[in-house]
Structures are given as C-alpha cells and as structure tokens.
Amino acid sequence: MKISILFGTESGNSEMAAEDLAASLADTYETEIRDLAEVSPEDLREDALYVFVCSTYGEGELPNSALPFYTALSQTRPDLTGVHYAIFGLGDSFYTETFGHGSLKLDAQLKDLGAHRAGDFGRHDASTWEPVGEVAVAWFEDVLSSLQVNSNAA
Ligand SMILES: Cc1cc2nc3c(=O)[nH]c(=O)nc-3n(C[C@H](O)[C@H](O)[C@H](O)COP(=O)(O)O)c2cc1C
C-alpha cells in the first residue's frame, strides 16, 4: 500500500508533522509527501491511502495551502468512492468555537463525496504543547491497527 501524506499549512506545523509521519513509515511503506497546494482532486487514486495533515486558520477556515484543493472539491464534486483516507487536524483549543474546524470541513467534504475514512479523526491541540509529530505518529499507529483489524475480519 502506498501512503501519500498531503499537508495543508499556514505556518509550517502541518508540514513538520507530515515529515515526522513520513520518517516513521519510510522503512515499511512506499511513502510520499505533497503540499495540498500542488494536489488536485483528479490526482486521488484507489490504490493509495491518503493521509491529510491539515491545520485551521482564520475563524475555523482552512489554511491557504489547502484552500485551492478544498475549493476544487466543492466546485467539481468528483465521485471519490473507492478512495481511502485518514485525517489529522492541527488546531488550538484556545479557539473554543472553531477548534479544528478547518480540517473537520475537509473531512466532511471528503466523506460527502464518497471517500472512506480509515480510523478516527486525529487531533493536535497547540495549547497542550505536545510535540505535534509525536502525536501524529501515535495517532497513525492506531489508524494502521484499525486497518489490520478490518482486513483480518474481511
Ligand atoms: C491567526 C490564527 C488563527 C487561528 N485560528 C484557529 C481556529 O479558528 N481554530 C483552531 O483550532 N486553531 C486555530 N489556529 C491555530 C492553528 O491551527 C495551530 O497553531 C496550528 O498548529 C497551525 O498549524 P500550521 O502551522 O500547519 O498552519 C489559529 C492560529 C492563528 C495564528
């Protein structure tokens, strides 16, 4: 299984988390990292697992580098049946009303278009001061375990 890590960022934290995640997977999986700014919905394939690592900016909005991808999804509404993804949202619970809303919007849009989410929605809260890469790597181990449980059950 190829793992494609797609990050959306404003100030670099999501890219850093994506790099830590890729480093933790590189020995076991074919892995790539791409900035969402350079990805279009037509690039999504059924034979990969897409791992979205994306922050929230403004008032619960997506960061700049994820906006063109999100806008293209909303406007072209491709059928994403057969596409598998996991999603890890970076945010800050200081923003009580909009904590993680940018990545939650992206998650909702992907699901609405038929893509299948593997594992739980992951979260990093900047207010905890936990190292974002460590939180992302621990979360993704759970995602991989849930995939193995599902494939053993099939
Ligand atoms: C101006 C500004 C607005 C933000 N707005 C939100 C928000 O509405 N909700 C949220 O959960 N986090 C918000 N954040 C926190 C960021 O999502 C968090 O710092 C994240 O780690 C940034 O990741 P990035 O560097 O990949 O963009 C905001 C941060 C800044 C500086």
pLDDT tens readout for residues 87-112: 999 999 999 999 999 999 999 999 99
* Domains defined for the chain, CATH in brackets: 2-153 (3.40.50.360)
Q: Is the pTM of this model over 0.95?
A: yes
* CB atoms closer than 10 angstroms to residue 42: 9
Please say whether the dihedral angle defined by the alpha carbons of residues 72, 77, 78 and 81, taken in this order, is positive or negative.
positive
Residue ranges around ligand 1 (CB below 6 Å): 9-14, 55-60, 63, 90-92, 95, 98-101, 126
Q: Residues 96, 60: contact at Cβ < 8 Å?
A: no
User: 148 falls in which pLDDT band (50, 70, 90)?
Assistant: confident
Report the nearest atom of ligand 1 relative to the CA of 132: 21
Structure tokens at 84: 């598998």
